[in-house]
Amino acid sequence: MNQTTSDKQTIVIKVGSTLIAPNGRVDRKTCLPAISSYINQCFEQGIRVVLVSSGSVAAGKHFFSNETPSAIEKKAMAATGQSEMIATWDSLLHKPCAQILLTQADLQERTRYTNIKSTVNQLLDNGIIPIVNENDAVTSGQFEVGDNDNLSAMIAACIHADTLIICTDIDGLYDKNPHTHDDAQLIKEVKTITPEILKMAGGSNSNVGTGGMITKLQAAQKATEHGIDTIIVNGKKKESFEALFEKVNPGTFFEAQGKPLQDQTHWLIHTSKAVGELIIKEEEDNKIAVNARNLDFRDIVEVNGEFAAGDTVLIKDVKGKKIAKATSLCSSCLLNFVNDHQDENTIMESALKQGPIIQKTELAIFAPTL
């Protein structure tokens, strides 16, 4: 571990449900004092901290009698538990706290995404700790991020954080499941997240949280590709946080990429969800058209999904290979109409006059491995 958070200006700390409310109630005594003490020390040393805190559903569970809650009951639990969770952090942290509840829709739309960055920085500039969580009380379907591991990486990228710390209930990434293999070895450092590394992640062993090790690796990949060092640590151990300040790696350290993705490209690949697909002809000329950012109506053979102009779409060839993600300048309705009338010269000539159908400045070409 070459750097620690002591050398950094802004860090994002993600704390999972298993640490906050392991038994359906907020646990103020086991893990939270050490985590909050670390955050307090960071601010004392001039390090800015954003806290991404899970636990609203778990914290609200004890207010409800149903042992197998429905989806809508879980939303009610989230609404109830969120206030208790915020109150707990507010009582443990030495700085005032601010609540930020987000959905995928907030991250999807560029203006709202930019507003998140501005609001978080304004809070930090005024010595206030932003506490971020997914808005589980209202979100569902395509507007759902799904887990706070990935949300924490999106927030870290959004605000250009230096370090992402993911607190969990084991020491880090192991080469095999440590719960079922006595010979499992902790991996101390990962320079590049390869397919082999991803295969090491098993499912979650907790019935409390929504993210297992795979979501933590996904988060680490998002963060490191934005130039953000990422550390998975055992949040149950006070020594983990002591080690961070002593410049000792207490878990698994993921090294930031030396050449991070540009902001717009990173947002398209890792944050914005594609709501539709454009299938292009399997010809070299069309792949060149994508790379040259001048894809037009003639290149499209199929349109999947319903989307509006300005939405993110996935571009694939006819064999299903992912080529790029882009912001569409046309709705699926218009694209389907023109595609259905390609033999009519007047309609095609009118369509071609509109120029490219993708936003040239908002296109991310996938690497061959994706």
Q: For 2-49, what is each residue's pLDDT tens digit?
A: 444 444 589 999 999 889 988 778 888 888 999 999 999 999 999 999
pLDDT tens-digit readout, 243-275:
998 889 999 999 999 888 888 889 988 999 999
Give me the pLDDT at residue 253, please: 97
Mean pLDDT of 279-308: 74
370, part of any domain: no
Query: CB-based contacts of 305: which residues, under 8 Å, 6+ apart?
Result: 275, 276, 277, 313, 332
Assign residue 324 the CATH number of its domain.
2.30.130.10
Q: Say if residue 197 is in the same domain as residue 344.
A: no
Residues 97, 156 within the same domain: yes
Same domain flag for 174 and 69: yes
Question: At residue 104, does pLDDT exceed 90?
Answer: yes
Rounded distance between C-alpha atoms, residue 303 and residue 339, angstroms: 8
Residue 352 pLDDT > 70, yes or no?
Answer: no
pLDDT band, very low/low/confident/very high, at 330 (cuts 50, 70, 90): confident
* pLDDT confidence of residue 82: 93
Confidence of residue 349 (pLDDT cuts 50, 70, 90): low
Bridge-based pairing state of the strands 129-134 and 97-102: parallel
The reply to whether 349 falls in a domain is yes
**How is residue 149 annotated by DSSP?**
H
Which phi-psi region, left, alpha or beta, contains residue 127 (left: φ > 0; alpha: ψ -120 to 50)? Answer: left
How high is the pLDDT of residue 300? 84
- Tell me, yes or no, whether 44 and 185 share the same domain: yes
Task: Identify whether residues 208 and 291 lie together within a single domain.
Answer: no
The first and second tokens of residue 172, run together, are: 């880090």
Does residue 262 sit in the same domain as residue 285?
no
With the C-alpha atoms ordered 22, 4, 100, 273, is the resulting torsion angle positive or negative?
negative
Name the domain count of the chain.
2
Residue 57 lies in a domain: yes
Query: pLDDT-derived band of residue 146, with 50, 70 and 90 as boundaries?
Result: confident
Same domain, 248 and 221: yes
Residues 192 and 313 in one domain: no
| In 178-316, alpha helices (H) | 195-199, 213-224, 238-245, 263-270, 284-291
Average pLDDT, the chain: 85
Give the range with max mean pLDDT: 10-14, 52-56, 58-62, 276-280: 10-14
Name the domain boundary from 231, 247, 266: 266
Smallest CA-to-CA distance from 18 within 118, 148, 114, 120 is with: 148
Torsion-angle region of residue 362: left (phi > 0), alpha (psi -120 to 50) or beta? Answer: beta
Domain that holds residue 141: 5-266
Query: Is 142 inside any structural domain?
Result: yes
pLDDT tops 50 at residue 204: no
Final residue of a domain: which of 249, 266, 283? 266
